[in-house]
Amino acid sequence: MVNWSDIDAVIFDVDGTLYDQPRLRAIMARKLLFQVLKKPWSWPEIRLLKDFRALRERLAHEPDIDLAQEQYQRIAAKHGVEPARVRAVVEKWMQRAPLPHLAACRRPGVRSFFRELAQRGIGIGVFSDYPARDKLSAMDLSAQVVICADDPQVNQLKPNPKGLLAVARELGAQPRRCLYIGDRAELDGEAAHRAGMACLIWEPRDTGRPDRFTSFEQLRRNLVGSNPSSEHTP
């Protein structure tokens, strides 16, 4: 697990890490289906979203792209619409529509883990491939630094380490004293490795690997146990 005496800041991924992503996707799939049944002419929006999500997965493996431009332009060209139209659909369905459902999908123990970190003076940062501020508010979580891949100072997707390094810099923490917590080894783990940070990956079942964890309660117990004398510090 983690040697907490080596850690000054914890940086979190959001999607699939702080909340149950398959559960949220099931809720959103029902919402989208309802939308299509009610307004059949909105079917192109659903196809556009599917293509956008697939493109983002591919762009993660294209080095040094101009993410802010490419992600909307390529889908706009494919669907014969303006990039602003793609952006509006993505913001509506991928950023705003999920917000009311996020609290119900938040992983157990996340809030108390955040609280424990704050009480111990460990910095809290967030780096997500998608905009994260509203999602954090919807889950009643707060971090000192929140940066996403679309932000101008990053403009790159993981596994590019630029975003993680930007969060560490703003937190005033050395990368080697940061821990990144994510849910995808090939993206989160690789980004942390390139940034020179430790990393833990959430997994649904315990495989016994020291760089994996299955619950935030488990992480909190590990953190508290690392310094028993301060367990009762208010």
> Applying CB under 5 A, which residues contact Mg ion?
13, 15-16, 183
Measured from the CB atom, the residue of 45 and 166 that comes closer to Mg ion is 166
Supply the minimum distance, in Å, between the C-beta of residue 52 and Mg ion. Answer: 16
Measured from the CB atom, the residue of 205 and 232 that comes closer to Mg ion is 205
Using alpha carbons only, what angle is made at residue 169 by residues 219 and 155, rounded to the nearest 5 degrees? 95
Supply the minimum distance, in Å, between the C-beta of residue 108 and Mg ion. Answer: 17
Residues 6 or more apart whose CB falls under 8 angstroms from that of 80 comprise none
Contact (CB, 8 A) for 85 and 192:
no
Tell me the pairing of strands 123-128 and 145-148: parallel
Supply the minimum distance, in Å, between the C-beta of residue 159 and Mg ion. Answer: 12
Supply the minimum distance, in Å, between the C-beta of residue 71 and Mg ion. Answer: 17
Residue type, 166: A
Measured from the CB atom, the residue of 75 and 132 that comes closer to Mg ion is 132
Measured from the CB atom, the residue of 116 and 129 that comes closer to Mg ion is 129
Measured from the CB atom, the residue of 16 and 131 that comes closer to Mg ion is 16
Measured from the CB atom, the residue of 116 and 183 that comes closer to Mg ion is 183
Supply the minimum distance, in Å, between the C-beta of residue 182 and Mg ion. Answer: 6
- Which stretches within the chain are classed as H helix? 21-38, 43-59, 67-79, 83-90, 99-105, 110-119, 133-138, 162-171, 190-195, 216-225
Residues 6 or more apart whose CB falls under 8 angstroms from that of 171 comprise 8, 9, 11, 123, 125, 144, 145, 178
Residue type, 34: F
Supply the minimum distance, in Å, between the C-beta of residue 151 and Mg ion. Answer: 17
